[in-house]
Structure 1
Amino acid sequence: MTKPYFEQFSHRQAPIYAPLGSCRRWVWNFLAGATIAAGAAYLHWRWTASLNSDAFVFSVCVATAESLFFLGTSLFYFDIWDEGDTPFGAVWDDNPWRTPQSTTTTVDIFVTTYDEPLDVVGPSLEAAAAVYVPDGVRVRVCLLDDGDRAGMALEADRRGISYFARQTNEGFKAGNLRHALLRTSGDFVVICDADTRLLPSFLQNTMGYFRDPNVAWVQTPHWFYDLPEGESWHRWVTRQSPRWIRACPRTARWCSRVIARVLTWMSGKNRVGRDPFLSDPSVFFDVIQRRRNRNGASFCCGAASIHRREAVFDAALRDKTQSVSKAAAKSRLNTQACLSAHPLQPYRFHVSEDLYTSILIHADQAARWTSVYHPQVEARMLSPWCMTAWAAQRLKYAGGTFDIAIWDNPLFRKGLNWRQKLHYGATFWSYLSILWAPVLLLAPVVSLATGWAPVSAFSVEFFQRFLPAVVLGELAMVAACKGHAIGAGRVMAVVALPVQLRALYCVLRRQTPQFAPTPKLPNAGGTPNMRHVWPHVTLLGVMGGAAVLGVWQTAQHVPGYSASLLWVNLFWLGVNMSFVVRAVQMARWRPPAHLSQDHTTVSQQSTTEVQHVAHSYSN
């Protein structure tokens, strides 16, 4: 039997995320303030002195998009202004939740699954059973199989763990969790996805936070330990070389070295194929989530989190009571009928049940529940390894976030303080940027195709006001992100545009976002699936055509065209195209041959998973 592909990465050690140093914090805060000041000055000049009257509508559209992005930058700077890690307390000393009747604290570890193969679920169960148990704590491992599979039941029985299955999939993952919660009694609940492999230190390093009786949950970072490291440019060039060159080893080696050096210089990277789907979540967890903790606004991300059962049910009961009261008053039905129509939802039945439930608990003023973000990795997980998996994952993220932002926005919910609202608002604003991002993405295309300039002139004054804001912003991000790669987020914002626009369209039509699980297999999707990137290919064609047209029109001295308009827009067009082309590279990426072999236990699952997710993405 062939080992699962991810076993070849088991030797990798989890990263250690250091806190933001005082010197770096000072530099970051200074640069952030300078960026805001330079950006505000630029926009004031932009609106008062630079609008192009010859292309007024186009100029106003671009200036509006720039202003909206500036507002998003300001929200983001507030989001990550400073760290505020929660002090940690030992779990086994003077536990405040112990009572004379029960001196043992119980913890249920839930491993949720739907159609993931045993090759994926098995290591998660093994890791859960191997977690170090602190003194005075009793652990129960539970397999929550929403696929109701006989094989999983037998595996649970073989391992001596509890097994829960349902006849229906109401509420999907949230419903699966509720089904198990109503049949267990642990004081605390650990949530794991099918691929979540807890580290032995998980309980030891998280339960101490619950010494504070108001802590409702503790979230830990997601670490994708299977991210492809890629290969050196030299090796990649050697593989791509034609046979007639490889027939001459000395010539092949010399050519490969020269081309590899050129590609390294052009790309700024010494390897190709590293993290092909831009899945590394370090910036989100170590920068954004960690710094939201200072205001108690780090939301739950589902897997690798631990929850106080009392808090989960307390918030659910309050939410149910409010929903029943509103429904009874609106429909004039009796209370019993409303109770039946609104089932208890410890985790809200939603594609983003973790984010939704976080909002409900944070907004519960009566209970004063708080959350904690633990900054160090305590679990390992699997990343998407095909375009179909990536598209399904991004569709769910965007659909769930848009659904909450549009139909139950926490900014209008009582209970959240203004700081928490700004943090949640920053999340929603980043997704809503898909409404104005296309304006800046297509602005060079419009300029090169029509000769319209978004500013009155690309003069020295323009660059004197524009460049300081851009340069200071880049330096601020470098200082803020502690060495994490910052370019991937910008590329992802462009690459994910079609998926996010589709998610917004579905939400506006009141179509429930799909809950299809994300396949995480090397062979998922089969051959390169270009249907996910046809908008990107089309856009690249339009951009290339605009570049050719702009050069031709400038060479012909067509009125409206100038050398400055041509070169400025060609530069930004090249930058934008480098982002868009990344989507095509993602779709064409294939795992290394030694990792893409069919595995005995996963090959039969792969086709079903991919078809299910592809259907949810395309319909």
Structure 2
Amino acid sequence: MPALGQRRWREGARRVVPPIAIAYVAAYLVWRAGWSLNPDAPVLSALLWGAEAFGAAMLASFWWMVRRPVFPQAPPAPPGLSVDIFVPTYDEDAEVLEATLAGCAAVQYPHRTYVLDDGRRPWLAELCQAYGAEYLTRADTRYAKAGNLNAALARTSGEFILVLDADMVPRPEILERTLGFFAADERLAIIQLPQEFYNRNSVQHDPRHPEWHEQSLFFHVIQPGKNASNSAFWCGSPAVLRRRALEDVGGVAVETVTEDLHTSVRLHARGWKTLYVDEPLAFGVAPQTYVAYAVQRYRWARGTWQLYLGKESPLWIRGLTPAQRLSYLASFLVYLEPLQKLALVSLPPAIVLTGQLPILAPVGLFVPLWLAYVALTVAAVAVLSRGWFRLFPMELYSFLRMIAFLRAMLAVAVPRPPRFRVTPKRVERGLESQERRAMVWHVAVVGGLTGALGYSVAAFLTGDARLSPAAYALVSFWGAYDAAILTAAVAHVVRRRYSRTSYRFRVRLPIVLVCGALRWQGEVLDLSLHGARIRVAGEPPPTAGCGALLALPRQRVTVVVAREAFRRRVAGGTELGVAFAPPQGDMRRALIEFLFVRAPLLEAVQPRAA
């Protein structure tokens, strides 16, 4: 089908399929409530109907949010604007910060870079000096990141502020691609950019499709959809903020641990505008491990609950439009999702233990109607997702974050002073045992489902008449599906190995190994600051102590091979894994700039046309 025809077909599907799905789901729920609930199992019936109704609410809110996405085109940036770059940090490693500082130094639009160090580390002051950045610290760490940003606001003067997390490396053109929006609209407070990551082997990336990660749908579909109702919100980093707007709302909000979302609500309530620009202009470090992932998701969930139950909740704060309130409500629903998942995974064991099915209608009638409910819901979400829909990975991550979200609910229900925990960036060898311990609750749920499945099969084979054979088959399928997803989620975590402490970028670069008087031509297949995988013609001698001349796009860099990690014969030559002696000076800086500023764009996901 020609490209124009495909585009028209997709647009037609987006207009037709979701309304049909929503209408069917509404009718299905009415039928379920009026004619199919089992009065002898009121609790189980309510749980199942509630879970189905929540799915319908998620579908309707998703359709409303993303039905008219806005993908703005960047106007030229006017010259002469004063810009500060803020890099708040607490305990990140030197290598992480050096990459970010290299990126800041390469930003083309005139600016001043400030590193805001709540860790008060002398070595970081020296690193800032080497990269032309200014070093700021404060006497305490009150209010964590929000307090750090507010302290820097009081000591700087740039009209606009680019906020970067300590691991978020900007592209050189980041300011030139964003400042023009502010010149075009004096009421624009924030430009939020997508969070893309260079470590595409993280726990939140799909191993089969590493261009997709757990937040892809949010950043490439939901946030552009929020542009239509002026409800796109600040996600911390990377983002450009107007100082005057921040000052108008008293600075960055400090009352919750999701200061970015909270500040967005205050800005919208004061009539300021926000805009999401779907262009990858910075690359950071995604949570590499499940433990780091759970820490981050817990903080997001707890802060969101704090905000939505507080006096400045977007559900009732004065100043928001009805469309903005609805958009914020739609975003909040994801933090209720673990209750739905908990109900769905609890029902199969509950049914086989009680012998009560929460459905009064015949199984032969219920199943096709339920399958249509599921199929239409999936079809509607798929066409609305503009190519970013992944059913199995989305289900997997929904279960993975379930425990963290439930812990956040418990923390809000039993209040304790929140402690801001920075998402761990450090990856160390031997993390596998810690990861396995963190999955204990997921394993327990799998065990419960497996036990229920086994009991159901045994009851069916022994002629237990509490449930009909069709009901046993339904419960078995249901439990098996949930168990399969959860097992896949557990396997996704426990199969991971952490043999490297830094990410290897997939690149193709010429290399020359110089071993005394011998020179071996080859190609770099992947590269980090600490080592590389190389393919060379023939079979070179042991390479420890040899020089390696890397032909980067802008210059040649020489490093020294400290040791070989592996060597294997391949067609036409030899493949080597080598570790480098730590590069120093200009060589180190050139390698860092290539790896973290230039190389991520080679694998970047470009925004898709609407």
What TM-score, normalized to structure 2? 0.77
- Where does residue 246 of structure 2 map in the other structure? 312
Identical-residue share of aligned pairs (%): 30
- Where does residue 52 of structure 1 map in the other structure? 38
Matches within 5 A, 1:215-614: 215-228=188-201, 279-316=213-250, 345-364=251-270, 368-408=271-311, 409-487=313-391, 488-523=393-428, 526-529=431-434, 530-591=436-497, 593-594=499-500
Match of 1:25 among 11, 15, 22: 11
Q: Distance in 2 between matches of 1:132 and 1:280?
A: 31
TM superposition shift of 1:526: 2.4
Matched residue type, 2:39: S
Q: Secondary structure at the match of 1:447?
A: helix
TM superposition shift of 1:273: 7.2
TM superposition shift of 1:229: 8.6
Q: Distance in 2 between matches of 1:346 and 1:229?
A: 30
TM superposition shift of 1:60: 2.6
Per-residue deviation, residues 19-41 of structure 1 (Å, max 9, x unmatched):
x9554233123111011111011
Could you list the runs of 5+ residues in structure 1 that have no partner in the other structure? 1-19, 94-103, 231-268, 317-344, 602-619
Q: Distance in 1 between matches of 2:455 and 2:202?
A: 40
CA contact (8 A) 1:551 1:566 kept: yes
Q: Distance in 1 between matches of 2:44 and 2:202?
A: 43
Matched residue type, 1:24: R
Bigger proportion of residues as strand: 2
Give the direction of change, closer, same or farther, for the CA distance of 1:580–1:374 in structure 2 (3 Å limit): same
TM superposition shift of 1:87: 4.8
Q: Distance in 1 between matches of 2:7 and 2:230?
A: 21
Give the direction of change, closer, same or farther, for the CA distance of 1:412–1:160 in structure 2 (3 Å limit): same
TM superposition shift of 1:349: 4.5
CA contact (8 A) 1:25 1:480 kept: no
Q: Distance in 2 between matches of 1:156 and 1:516?
A: 24
- Where does residue 190 of structure 1 map in the other structure? 162
Matched residue type, 1:172: A
- Where does residue 88 of structure 1 map in the other structure? 74
CA contact (8 A) 2:428 2:500 kept: no
Q: Distance in 2 between matches of 1:357 and 1:110?
A: 17
Q: Distance in 1 between matches of 2:175 and 2:429?
A: 34
- Where does residue 109 of structure 1 map in the other structure? 85
CA contact (8 A) 1:148 1:165 kept: yes
Q: Distance in 2 between matches of 1:526 and 1:593?
A: 9
Matched residue type, 2:121: R
TM superposition shift of 1:275: 5.8
- Where does residue 252 of structure 1 map in the other structure? none
Per-residue deviation, residues 99-151 of structure 1 (Å, max 9, x unmatched):
xxxxx310001111101011000010110110121xxxx31011111100000
CA contact (8 A) 1:25 1:82 kept: no
CA contact (8 A) 2:87 2:114 kept: yes
Q: Distance in 2 between matches of 1:401 and 1:221?
A: 20
Matched residue type, 1:286: H
Give the direction of change, closer, same or farther, for the CA distance of 1:191–1:140 in structure 2 (3 Å limit): same
The more displaced of 194-203 and 576-585 is: 576-585
Give the direction of change, closer, same or farther, for the CA distance of 1:161–1:303 in structure 2 (3 Å limit): same
Per-residue deviation, residues 391-445 of structure 1 (Å, max 9, x unmatched):
1111111111111112232111110101110111011122123233311222122
- Where does residue 20 of structure 2 map in the other structure? 34
- Where does residue 534 of structure 2 map in the other structure? none
Q: Distance in 2 between matches of 1:196 and 1:499?
A: 24
Matched residue type, 1:428: F
Q: Secondary structure at the match of 1:512?
A: coil
Give the direction of change, closer, same or farther, for the CA distance of 1:524–1:105 in structure 2 (3 Å limit): farther
CA contact (8 A) 2:202 2:289 kept: no
Bigger proportion of residues as helix: 1
Give the direction of change, closer, same or farther, for the CA distance of 1:594–1:388 in structure 2 (3 Å limit): closer
Q: Of the two structures, which has the highest relative contact order with CA contacts closer than 8 Å and spacing of 6 or more?
A: 1
1:69 equivalenced with 2:59 (yes/no): no
- Where does residue 179 of structure 2 map in the other structure? 207
Q: Distance in 1 between matches of 2:108 and 2:469?
A: 67
Give the direction of change, closer, same or farther, for the CA distance of 1:181–1:36 in structure 2 (3 Å limit): same
Q: Distance in 1 between matches of 2:149 and 2:36?
A: 56
TM superposition shift of 1:543: 0.9
TM superposition shift of 1:462: 1.6
Q: Distance in 2 between matches of 1:592 and 1:433?
A: 31
Could you list the runs of 5+ residues in structure 2 that have no partner in the other structure? 1-5, 504-528, 531-580, 583-610
Matched residue type, 1:527: E
Q: Distance in 2 between matches of 1:305 and 1:594?
A: 30
Give the direction of change, closer, same or farther, for the CA distance of 1:395–1:552 in structure 2 (3 Å limit): same
Q: State the aligned residue count.
A: 497
- Where does residue 559 of structure 2 map in the other structure? none
1:118 equivalenced with 2:104 (yes/no): no
Q: Distance in 2 between matches of 1:514 and 1:154?
A: 30
TM superposition shift of 1:532: 1.6
TM superposition shift of 1:76: 1.9
TM superposition shift of 1:579: 2.2
Q: Distance in 2 between matches of 1:59 and 1:508?
A: 26
Match of 1:180 among 152, 155, 168: 152
